[in-house]
Amino acid sequence: MTAAAHTRPRLTFRGVIAGEWTKFWSLRSSWITLGVSLLLLAAFGVIAALTYSPGLVQGPPGTAVSTSAVAVALTGSTFASLAIGVLGVLVAAGEYSTGLIRATIAAVPARLPVIAAKTLVFGAIAFLVTAVGAIVAFVAGAPLISTEAIAMGLGDDGVLRSLIGAGLYLALVGVFGVALGMLLRSSAGGIAVLVGLLLIIPGLTRLLPDSWSEQVTPYLPSNAGGAMMTVHQADGALSAGAGLAVFAGWVAVALVAAAYRLVKTDV
């Protein structure tokens, strides 16, 4: 056996990121799920524009009150958030279900770099893909509703910010998935909690007394996230910046819990 004399191997954070990058792109499911997310965003945006009529109220959660061309373009964002979130869970929990985590931790025994690298790699990929998807949906759909009252152009106030906000929201949903997958170490469990927090809990708050519901609802993950991608905020919703802060807070809590479990327990 030849010793690697010239390039002395050394564990670095850059290396861990490169390793996660290779892991991500070498699975067919990554390509398929990213493609599906992109397709959902673009196709639903165009279909919603094609079928738009002013009488109908549409758009992602938190935008229902004041529909805009941006809201129409982002019709697919709920579906895309599921695809990206599930992929995030799989990126993390898949390590446990396959046993790969043992090889990963043997290579990176400090452990924390693993969750940090997964977050950065998957967050960046999810952001780029979904931001592009959102912009494509808007640009392709805008000509179809150019004669409607809600028509807007890419250069209009808040449009690009909202579309990039959608990419940021979806990337954070993906990272939320990574955190839940690392925390629960189970694909099924991670997906269940993710779907519960994003889709089911918001519906349940309707059961609360109105005064409570008004206090709680805007701070739920999907509602706070929805505020990041709307041009005109609905009454009682958070501002885009506050929405980002609140949703990022949710993700941060999940990440800290996941990091704690990763470092403190046996794998």
Residue 65 in tokens: 């009150």
The stretch near another protein (CB under 8 A) out of 18-26, 57-65, 134-142, 217-225 is 18-26
Measure the CA–CA gap between 243 and 217, rounded to whole angstroms. 12
Q: Which is nearer to another protein, 31 or 212 (CB)?
A: 31
Q: Nearest Cα to 60, choosing from 47, 43, 73?
A: 73
**Judged by CB under 8 A, does residue 95 bind another protein?**
yes
Measure the CA–CA gap between 160 and 135, rounded to whole angstroms. 8
**Judged by CB under 8 A, does residue 124 bind another protein?**
no
**Judged by CB under 8 A, does residue 7 bind another protein?**
yes
- Residue reference for tokens 């958070």: 238
Where in 19-134 does DSSP place strands (E)? Answer: none
Measured over the CA atoms of residue 58, residue 60, residue 65 and residue 68, the dihedral's sign is: negative
The stretch near another protein (CB under 8 A) out of 25-33, 54-62, 76-84, 192-200 is 25-33
Q: Which is nearer to another protein, 4 or 149 (CB)?
A: 4
Residue 129: CB atoms within 10 A of its CB come to 22
Q: Which is nearer to another protein, 104 or 162 (CB)?
A: 104
Closest distance between another protein and the C-beta of residue 40, in Å?
Answer: 22
Contact 183, 261 (CB under 8 A): yes
Measure the CA–CA gap between 206 and 28, rounded to whole angstroms. 40
Among 56, 64, 107, 253, binds another protein (CB under 8 A): 107
Closest distance between another protein and the C-beta of residue 80, in Å?
Answer: 23
Q: List binders of another protein among 142-181 (CB under 8 A).
A: none
**Judged by CB under 8 A, does residue 256 bind another protein?**
no
**Judged by CB under 8 A, does residue 118 bind another protein?**
no
Q: Nearest Cα to 126, choosing from 76, 58, 178, 162?
A: 178
Measure the CA–CA gap between 87 and 76, rounded to whole angstroms. 17
The stretch near another protein (CB under 8 A) out of 22-30, 73-81, 136-144, 205-213 is 22-30
Residue 46 in tokens: 């165009």
Closest distance between another protein and the C-beta of residue 99, in Å?
Answer: 5
- Per-residue x/- track, 53-82, another protein (CB under 8 A): ------------------------------
Contact 12, 117 (CB under 8 A): no
Q: Which is nearer to another protein, 102 or 215 (CB)?
A: 102
**Judged by CB under 8 A, does residue 11 bind another protein?**
yes
- One-letter amino acid identity for 151? A
Q: Which residues bind another protein (CB under 8 A)?
A: 1-4, 7-12, 15-16, 18-23, 26-29, 94-95, 98-110, 266-267
